[in-house]
Structures are given as C-alpha cells and as structure tokens.
Amino acid sequence: MIQEKVTIKNKLGMHARPAAMFVKTAAKFKSDVFLGRDEQEVNGKSIMGVMMLAAEMGSALTLTVKGDDEKETLAALIALINNKFDEE
C-alpha cells in the first residue's frame, strides 16, 4: 500500500469532468484506489464518491493505492492532478 498527500490545483476543483477523468484513469489499473479528505474516504473508482468530496482548489487529499500495479496507478493519478485535469 502506498499513500501520498495531494493538493487540487485546478480553479474549479474536482467537479464532474475532472472526477470522471480521475475514475476513468483509476479504472484502468487493477489496484484499489481510495481518496480521502479529512475523516472521509471514498473509493477512487466511484464517480459519485469522488464528487461527494467536493474537493475545491487548494484542498488537500490523501491518495491511497493498494495492489500489484500501485506504483503506476499512483503516478498516473498524481500526474492528472498536477496537470490540473487539463483545465485552468
């Protein structure tokens, strides 16, 4: 299991489009993905869960990945967040 702290960088936060990108990317890998904010943790492959976090710009999230391809999964997801989901 690996874990990393991430910060949302795009202006609108994790609204529907970024959330969809996140879960679609997560779904490509075998590992389980969890996304946590404060005391809440949701499955990173569930779009409703990810949107429920309502992670605005600047919010700090904990990304947890468990599985055989956890390294690649984590790298792909972090790249997505750092690229601001191709938004502003």
Partner 1 sequence: MKSLTVGKIYEDNQEQLQLELLNGQLSFERIIEEPDLHRPGLALSGFVEVFTFGRVQILGNTESGYLQTMSAAKRKKALASLMSFEMPCIIITEHNSVSQEFLALATKSKISIFRTPFKTTRLMHLLSDYMDDEFAPTITVHGSLVDVYGVGVMFTGRSGIGKSEIALDLVERGHRLVTDDIVKISRKAEGILIGSASEMLRHHMEIRGIGIVDVRSIFGIRSIRLQKRVEVEVHLEEWDEAENYERIGLEETITEILGVEIPVVRLPIFPGKNITVIAEVVALQHLLKINGVNSAKLFNERLIESMQSGNRKKGGLTEYLDKDFE
Residues lying near partner 1 in the complex (CB under 8 A) are found at 12-17, 19-20, 23-24, 47, 51, 54-57
Closest to partner 1 by CB, 1 or 24 = 24
| Chain-centroid distance, C-alpha 73 | 10
* Minimum distance, C-beta of residue 51 to partner 1, in the bound complex (Å): 6
Closest to partner 1 by CB, 1 or 86 = 86
Query: Do the beta carbons of residue 85 and residue 21 sit within 8 Å?
Result: yes
Active site residue 15: yes
Query: Do the beta carbons of residue 10 and residue 84 sit within 8 Å?
Result: yes
Task: List active site positions.
Answer: 15
